[in-house]
Structure 1
Amino acid sequence: MPQLVFGWRKRKSDEVDGASKKQKKEEEEEKKKLEEQLKIQSQLIWGIKDKLKKHCSINDMKELLIANGQDVPSGESNVLDSLADGMAFGALEGCKECQGQLVFKGDSYYCTGDISAWTKCVFKTKTPSRKDWVIPKEFHEVPFLKKFKFKQQDRVYPKEAPAQTLKPVKAEPLASASSAPTERLQEQAPSDKPLTGMKLLAVGKLSKNKDDLKAAMEELGGKMTGTANKASLCLSSKKEVEKMSKKMEEVRDAGVRVVSEDFLTDIRSSGKALQELVSLHAISPWGAEIKSEPQAPTVSSKSGALAAKSSGRVKEEEGGSKAKKMKLTVKGGAAVDPDSGLENSAHVLEQNGKMYSATLGLVDIVRGTNSYYKLQLLEDDVHKRYWVFRSWGRVGTTIGGNKLDKFHDKNSALDNFLSVYKEKTGNDWGTSNFTKYPNKFYPLEIDYGQDEEAVKRLTASAGTKSKLDRPVQDLIKMIFDVESMKKAMVEFEIDLQKMPLGKLSKRQIQSAYALLTEVQQAVSASVPEAQILDLSNRFYTLIPHDFGMKKPPLLNNLDYVKAKVEMLDNLLDIEVAYSLLRGGAQDNEHDPIDINYEKLKTKIE
C-alpha cells in the first residue's frame, strides 16, 4: 500500500510539473508574440517619423495636426511624436473629463488639459477614443502623404513590470494628508545637490560622453552606476526604450524609471520638485518611486518639513531654538528684497498710491509644484536710477534664482515690470478684477508692515512706566505677545520664511477660511478627488506652506483640515494683535502695556 501511495504522489507531482511547464511555455509564447507586435509597431511609428522628417517641414506637420483637430505641442520632437501617433492609430478625441488634448507618455495617454484655472486634469487611459486620420488635398503634392492610407489599429503596450515595483504616475503626486508626514523620499537631499544618495545609469547613445555625464551627475550630488538593480534612475532616449536592448530589459525588470537626458539640465535651473521633473521627463512605461541611499540626518523643523536655509528666509533649528533671520528694511511702505543687494540704497517705487512690488504663488499638487515669484521695481534713494528685481524658486528651499535689470529712466523700468507681471499672471498690473489662468501665478495680498519697527520699539519698552499691578501687566503682555504666536506657527508648517508674520493680509486669510469651509463640505460629501485637488491647490496658493521637496498633500482628511483651520485661527489672532499694537505705536506718553489694557475695554483686577 505505501508503494501505491508513493506512486500516486509521484504521478501527481509529474502532473503538476507538466502543467507548470505547459504554463511556462504558453507564457514564453505570449511574451514572444508581444515582443513581435511591439517590434512591428515600433517599425511602423519610426517609419512614419523618418518619412515625415524627410518630406515635410515642421510647419507642414503642425498644419496636419490642426487639420485633424489636434493641439500643436511645443518642440519639434513632440510635434513629430503626436503626428506619428495620429497617423498610426488615429486622431485623438478630447478628454472625457475636460475635453483637453490627450498625449501619449510611455504607458498611457494623459490629458494635458485643466479642470479649472488652478488644477490640471488627471485623466489617463490606454484606450482613448479616436477618429480616422485624414490627409487634406493640399498635402497631396507630397508623394508620401498622397499615398498614405490610414488603417485603424490599437496601440500595443509592453507588459508591465511586477506590481510591487510600480507606482502609477497619477498616484505619485496625490499624497494623502494622513500619509504626508512619512513621505521623506528626497527631502533630506541638500537643495543644491538634489541627486544626493542617488545612483544613475546611462543606457544607449547619448549626446554627452560617459565622462561628461558622470561629472554632471556628481556635481548634482549623484553617482554613476553600471548596474540596473542599483540604479535610482536611468538616462536614455525614447528610441532606446522602444528598441528594448538587453540592458534596457534589465532596467525594466528592475522597475527603474527611464528619463530623457535633458533631465540633468532641467534639474539645475527649473526650481521644480525632483519628483515633478522625473514625471515630466519620464519616457518609460514602467518605474517605481525613485530610490536613494540613506543619508546622514539633517536638521528639520518641528513640522517635519525640511528646513532649508535661503537668503532672506528663516531656518528653524531642531528643538525650537531661535530662528535666524535676515533683517528686512522697510522704506516708505515696502521692504526691498535683500537678495537684490539694494536694500540700503534704493526703495520700492510708489506711484498713484500703488507700491510696485508683487509676490506671486503657484501650487500644482499633480506636478508637485510649490513655487513663488517676486517682482519689484526699485528706485535709487538719491539718483534717478531704476531697477527691476525678480526672484523665483520653490517655497522653503534654496532652489531657484534671481535677476536684477538696470534702467536709466522710469518709463523703461515700468514697461519691463508691467510686461513681466502680465507674462507671469496673464493679467494687467493693478487690475481690480483679477482672473486666474491655468499655469499662471496668483498674487498674494501682502501687508508690507510699515509699522513693524514701531511696534517692536513699543513692545521693547513695555512695562517701564506702567501704573498697573504686576500680575495685570503680565497678563496684558501675554495677550499681546506676538513673538510667542510666531513660535506657535512653526508647528503648522506655515511659511514664515518668505512671508514674515503679519504680512499676509487679513482679507487673504479670510479667503482661505472660506476655502476650508468648502473643503470640509467636499470631504464630508465624498466628492470626486478632482474637486478636492482643486480646492487644495487654491488653499496652498493663498497660504504658502514650506513642504521642502515634498509634494503638497491633498486636503482629503477632516483632521488635517481641522489643523489648517486652527492654523488660520492663529494667523488671524496675530493679525488682530498686530492691528491693536499698531494702534498705539504713535503714543509716546503712556506705557505700551497701559495703552493695550485700555483697548480691551474691561476692568481686570
Structure 2
Amino acid sequence: MTRKQKAESKAHEGEQSPKKVKNENDQDGRKNGKTDTEKEYGEFCKAIREHLSVAQMREILQMNGQDSSGTPGTVISRCQDLLFFGPPDKCPLCNGSLDFDRIRYYCTGFYSEWSSCTFKTKNPTRKEESIKLPDSVLKTPVADLLKKYQDPSNRPRQGAPTKPLSGIMIALSSRLSRSHQYWKREIEKHGGMVSNSVKGITCLVATAAERDRGGSNKLSDALEQGIPVVREEWLVDSIEKHEPQPLEAYDVASDLVVAGKGIPLDKQDPSEEGLETLSAELKLYGKRGVYKDTKLQEQGGQILEKDGIVYNCAFVHCDIGRSINEYCIMQLITVPDSNLHMYFKKAKIGDDRNAEERLEEWENVDNAIKEFIRLFEEITGNEFEPWEREKKFEKKRLSFFPIDMDDGVEVRHGGLGLRQLGVAALHSNLEPKVANFMKILCSQEIYRYSLYQFCVALR
C-alpha cells in the first residue's frame, strides 16, 4: 500500500469513527441511565432514613391516601417509594388500592367475599399528581430534596426491574459462609443495597447458629421491630432464580431444623403442594370425633352435646390473593371424672409448629359455651345457632368458613379426602381442582370411616 493510499484510509476511518463513538455512547448512556437512577434512589432513601422519623413518614402516607400501618421497616420502604416515584394508581383489575410490601405492589381490593384481588406488579402506573407534604417535613434538611420530586415531571420513570434485588435494602449479621464484602458486592451487583443498621431494611441475613447463641444487637433489634430475619440461602436462591423469594420460607427466628422449614404450603407451586399435603391432615373424625392432638380421647373424652347442638366446629380460610391457607378447630370436650375442656387451634395448613393452640379447663359449662359462641362469631362474623340449627351462614371477607361435618366423615386439607391420593392427583393431567375432587370421590377411607361409625364390620 502506497503512502497516499494509507493517508486516504486513515482519513476515511476518521470520518466513520465519530458515528461509531456516538452509538457506543448512546448504549453506555442507556446503561448508565439505569445505574444512575438506581444510585439516585439509593442516595434518596439514605437521606430519607436519616432525616425523617417514622412518625413523619406515616403522616406523609396518610396525607397522600396511602396505608400508614405496619412495622417501621414497611412504613419506611412504602414512603420512600411514594416520595421518589409518586403515588400508585388504582388496580387495573378491580379498581382497588395498591400497597407496597417492600418488594412489589399488590392490590388490597376484593373480587368477592370469598377472594381478594390477585393483582401484583413491580412497576405500577403512577398518578400524575403532586405529593402532599406536612409542615413538619418542610422544616427538615431534606425539604428541598423532597420538593424536587413533588412535581410529577421531575420524577424518574420506573422501568421494569431487571435485577432480582432491585429496591431491596439488606443488612448482614454474624459470620456467614462467605464474607460480608463478598455479599455486599453480590447484593449491589443484583440491584440491592446494604445497610449497616436495621433501620429501614427489608430483611436481615443471619444464621441459625447466631440465633442459638442469643443473637447480636442487630438480630435483637430486627426481631423487636418485626423485620424478617432470613437465612443466607435466601440470597442464593433469589439471585439464582432472578426473583426475590418469599422471606417467610427462610425465616431464621422460627426455623428449628438445620435444613430449614422449607416453602410454606400457601407459597408453594400447586405441583409441589400435592406431596406436601400427604402429612397435612386435620386429624378430625366426624362431628363427634375428639381431635387427636388433645390426647383426651385416650381418657374417654367425648364432644359436648347440649340442647341438640354438638359443640365441635372446623373452619377453613383460603384466599390466594392474600396467600392465606388456614384452618381452625374448636371443641368442647367432656372427660369422665374431670371438668369440661375447651380446645382451640388455628394454624396455616402444613405449619402446625407455629399454630395458635390451647386446651383450657372450665368448671362452669354455661360459661364455656358462651366463650365457644364468642370465638365462633369472632372468626366467622356470623351467629352460632343459625348455623348449627339451620345452616344459615353469610361469608364475610377475610373470615373463616365452617365445614359442614357429618358423622363418620374425615375432614382434611382441601376438603374431604385421603392424603395418599395426593400423589395420584399430583401426576394427573386434569385441572388441579378437578383432580382434587376426583381424589375425594375415589377415597375408600371416607366410606370406611362412615361404615366404622355405624358399626358395620369390614371384611
TM-score, normalization by structure 1: 0.49
Q: Contact between 2:95 and 2:109, CA under 8 Å: does it hold in 1?
A: yes
CA distance in structure 2 between the partners assigned to 1:210 and 1:564 by the alignment:
38
Number of equivalenced pairs = 376
- Select the residue among 410, 418, 432 that pairs with 2:365: 410
CA distance in structure 2 between the partners assigned to 1:312 and 1:275 by the alignment:
17
- Select the residue among 63, 66, 77 that pairs with 1:67: 63
- Select the residue among 323, 332, 336 that pairs with 2:290: 336
Query: What is the DSSP-based 3-state SS (H/G/I as helix, E as strand, rest coil) of the residue aligned with 2:61?
Result: helix
Q: 1:122 to 1:418 in 2, by over 3 A?
A: same
Aligned to 2:38: 38
Q: 1:233 to 1:577 in 2, by over 3 A?
A: closer
Q: Contact between 1:34 and 1:158, CA under 8 Å: does it hold in 2?
A: no
* Residue 252 of structure 1: how far off its partner (Å): 4.5
Aligned to 1:156: 158
CA distance in structure 1 between the partners assigned to 2:281 and 2:419 by the alignment:
15
- Residues 324-403 of structure 1 mapped to structure 2, 5 A cutoff: 334-343=288-297, 344-365=299-320, 369-383=324-338, 385-395=339-349, 399-401=353-355, 402-403=357-358
CA distance in structure 2 between the partners assigned to 1:420 and 1:93 by the alignment:
38
CA distance in structure 2 between the partners assigned to 1:200 and 1:127 by the alignment:
36
Aligned to 2:252: 264
Q: 1:437 to 1:72 in 2, by over 3 A?
A: farther
Aligned to 1:50: 50
The one-character-per-residue Cα deviations of 1:263-294 (angstroms, maximum 9, x if unpaired) are 3235669xx97167879xxxxxxxxx9xxxxx
Aligned to 2:226: none
The one-character-per-residue Cα deviations of 1:363-414 (angstroms, maximum 9, x if unpaired) are 334566543221112234334x233212344546765533223334334433
CA distance in structure 2 between the partners assigned to 1:430 and 1:209 by the alignment:
48
Query: What is the DSSP-based 3-state SS (H/G/I as helix, E as strand, rest coil) of the residue aligned with 2:116?
Result: coil
Q: 1:357 to 1:578 in 2, by over 3 A?
A: closer
2:94 matches 1:135: no
Q: Sequence identity of aligned pairs in percent?
A: 19
* Residue 340 of structure 1: how far off its partner (Å): 1.1
2:263 matches 1:274: yes
CA distance in structure 1 between the partners assigned to 2:433 and 2:279 by the alignment:
28
CA distance in structure 1 between the partners assigned to 2:328 and 2:116 by the alignment:
20
| Structure 2: unaligned runs, 5 residues or longer | 1-17, 166-176, 184-193, 213-231
Partner amino acid, structure 1, of 2:132: I
Q: 1:155 to 1:266 in 2, by over 3 A?
A: farther
Q: Contact between 2:303 and 2:332, CA under 8 Å: does it hold in 1?
A: yes
CA distance in structure 1 between the partners assigned to 2:136 and 2:402 by the alignment:
51
Partner amino acid, structure 2, of 1:33: G
- Residues 16-415 of structure 1 mapped to structure 2, 5 A cutoff: 27-53=27-53, 58=55, 61-105=57-101, 108-125=104-121, 126-135=123-132, 139-140=134-135, 143-144=138-139, 149=147, 150-152=150-152, 153-157=155-159, 159-161=161-163, 203=183, 205=196, 212-214=207-209, 232-234=233-235, 252=239, 255=242, 257=244, 263-265=251-253, 274=263, 305-306=275-276, 308=278, 313=283, 334-343=288-297, 344-365=299-320, 369-383=324-338, 385-395=339-349, 399-401=353-355, 402-415=357-370
Partner amino acid, structure 1, of 2:82: G
* Residue 97 of structure 1: how far off its partner (Å): 1.5
Query: What is the DSSP-based 3-state SS (H/G/I as helix, E as strand, rest coil) of the residue aligned with 2:385?
Result: coil
CA distance in structure 1 between the partners assigned to 2:76 and 2:393 by the alignment:
37
CA distance in structure 2 between the partners assigned to 1:88 and 1:212 by the alignment:
33
Q: Which has the higher contact order (CA 8 A, sep 6+)?
A: 1
Query: What is the DSSP-based 3-state SS (H/G/I as helix, E as strand, rest coil) of the residue aligned with 1:265?
Result: coil
- Select the residue among 379, 396, 404 that pairs with 1:445: 404
Q: Contact between 1:91 and 1:130, CA under 8 Å: does it hold in 2?
A: yes
Partner amino acid, structure 1, of 2:139: F
* Residue 37 of structure 1: how far off its partner (Å): 1.5
Q: Contact between 1:234 and 1:259, CA under 8 Å: does it hold in 2?
A: no
Aligned to 1:519: none
The one-character-per-residue Cα deviations of 1:63-109 (angstroms, maximum 9, x if unpaired) are 54333222333223223332333233333332122232212356643
| Structure 1: unaligned runs, 5 residues or longer | 1-17, 167-198, 218-230, 236-249, 280-288, 290-302, 314-325, 450-498, 505-539, 586-590, 594-605
Partner amino acid, structure 2, of 1:435: E
Question: Aligned-residue CA RMSD in angstroms?
Answer: 5.3
Partner amino acid, structure 1, of 2:115: T
The one-character-per-residue Cα deviations of 1:404-435 (angstroms, maximum 9, x if unpaired) are 23334334433443343334323333344322
Partner amino acid, structure 2, of 1:388: M
* Residue 28 of structure 1: how far off its partner (Å): 4.3
* Residue 359 of structure 1: how far off its partner (Å): 0.9
CA distance in structure 2 between the partners assigned to 1:214 and 1:425 by the alignment:
41
Partner amino acid, structure 2, of 1:234: L
Query: What is the DSSP-based 3-state SS (H/G/I as helix, E as strand, rest coil) of the residue aligned with 1:360?
Result: strand
Q: Contact between 1:51 and 1:144, CA under 8 Å: does it hold in 2?
A: no
Q: Contact between 1:397 and 1:548, CA under 8 Å: does it hold in 2?
A: no
Q: 1:549 to 1:62 in 2, by over 3 A?
A: farther
